[in-house]
Every structure is written in structure tokens, then in C-alpha cells.
Amino acid sequence: MPRVEVSESACTGCGVCVETCPTDVLRLNPDNKAAMAYPRDCQGCFVCQWDCAYGAIRVYVNDPAGPVGGAP
């Protein structure tokens, strides 16, 4: 299952990835950093990684660790 990793030091909280994710996976957390709110909906499409101007978000596909905080 795809997994998205956000560098909290690099994320500016601009919200671009939240807006552009086609399956509405991402939200800004209380610290104003992008986070996977709906990990099961991630398609591993890389749009968030491509659209982040700050290099703060990376997508991993077929990661055996599974989605962040996600159940199997």
C-alpha cells in the first residue's frame, strides 16, 4: 500500500498537496504540516510529491510498512 512521508522541517503548510491530491488523502495537522488523514485512499500517484515546491513530501509505493498509522 502506498505511503506518504512528510518532512516536518521542510513543510511550510502551504496546503497545495491537500488541494491537489486527487483522492483527498491529505490534511494539515494542528502543527500546520501535511499528513495522511485518509491513508487507505492513497493511490500512490505521486501528484503530491510533484506539486510540493519545497521537496517536503515523498511517496513510497508497495511499502511493507503500510500506511502511516494505518490498520492492515
Contact with ligand SF4 (CB under 6 A): which of 5, 57, 67, 70?
57
Contact with ligand SF4 (CB under 6 A): which of 1, 27, 29, 47?
47
Q: Is 42 exposed, middle or buried, given 0-12, 13-18 or 19+ CB atoms closer than 10 A?
A: buried
Count residues contacting ligand SF4 (CB under 6 A)? 27
Q: How is residue 63 written as a grid cell?
A: 511499502
Q: Is the separation of the CB atoms in 7 and 24 below 8 Å?
A: no
Contact residues for ligand SF4 (CB under 6 A)? 2, 4, 6, 11-17, 21, 23, 25-26, 34, 42-48, 52, 54, 56-57, 59
